[in-house]
């Protein structure tokens, strides 16, 4: 597997999660995340990206935690701590849960989103997995489109967006 292919896969996921996640959550009723306490001393670094050949999906959580024989992915986010996890972050955790199940044969019950002031557990429910697979199918469908529409009205999001220079739909 070439590094170019992996790079493209990561980019693909990042871009499309960014564009589509808001719509998907409304449609699928995704879990919002439970506030939890996590002990950072139990976090272990992940050495290499996880990869699923079937879906051509790859990703690397920031940390893994072992709890009761299960592996839990931890994703660390900087910046503002939201009242509830962002949709794109929920899908990112779902990708890691999916990849962990495929790689290690054990289904994580949840993943953890670590924001500066709060941690959330995002349950990896069958509904979330199904929404993720729908999203990936949508990604493949829209992969070559150049006219994907903006899915939000959040000026701040555009302001901090890494794609704003090339985006004809940016706000502000």
Residue 158 binds to ligand SF4 (criterion: CB under 6 A): yes
Minimum CB separation of residue 164 from ligand SF4 in Å reads 4
Site membership for ligand SF4, residue 23 (CB under 6 A):
no
- 162: closest CA among 97, 104, 88, 108? 88
Cα–Cα distance, 30 to 71 (Å, whole number): 21
Nearer CB in complex with ligand SF4: 36/158? 158
Q: How far apart are the first and last CA of the chain?
A: 40
Q: Does 6 bind ligand SF4 (CB under 6 A)?
A: no
DSSP state letters, 103-126: HHS---SEEEEE-SS-EEEEE--H
Q: Does 169 bind ligand SF4 (CB under 6 A)?
A: yes
Is 25 a binding residue for ligand SF4 by CB under 6 A? The answer is: no
Give the residues lining the site for ligand SF4 (CB under 6 A). 150, 157-158, 161, 163-164, 167, 169-171
């Amino acid at each position: 597997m070439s590094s170019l292919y992996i790079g493209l896969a990561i980019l693909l996921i990042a871009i499309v999660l960014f564009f589509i996640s808001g719509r998907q959550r409304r449609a699928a009723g995704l879990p919002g995340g439970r506030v939890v306490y996590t002990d950072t001393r139990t976090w272990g670094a992940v050495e290499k990206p996880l990869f699923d050949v079937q879906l051509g999906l790859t990703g690397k959580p920031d940390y893994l935690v072992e709890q009761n024989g299960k592996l839990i992915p931890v994703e660390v986010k900087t910046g503002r701590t939201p009242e509830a996890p962002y949709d794109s972050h929920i899908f990112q955790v779902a990708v890691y849960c999916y990849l962990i199940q495929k790689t290690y044969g054990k289904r994580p019950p949840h993943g953890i989103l670590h924001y500066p002031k709060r941690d959330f557990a995002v349950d990896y429910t069958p509904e979330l997995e199904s929404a993720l697979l729908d999203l990936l199918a949508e990604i493949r469908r829209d992969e070559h489109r150049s006219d994907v529409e903006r899915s939000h009205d959040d000026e701040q999001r555009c302001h901090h967006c890494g794609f704003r220079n090339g985006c004809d739909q940016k706000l502000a």
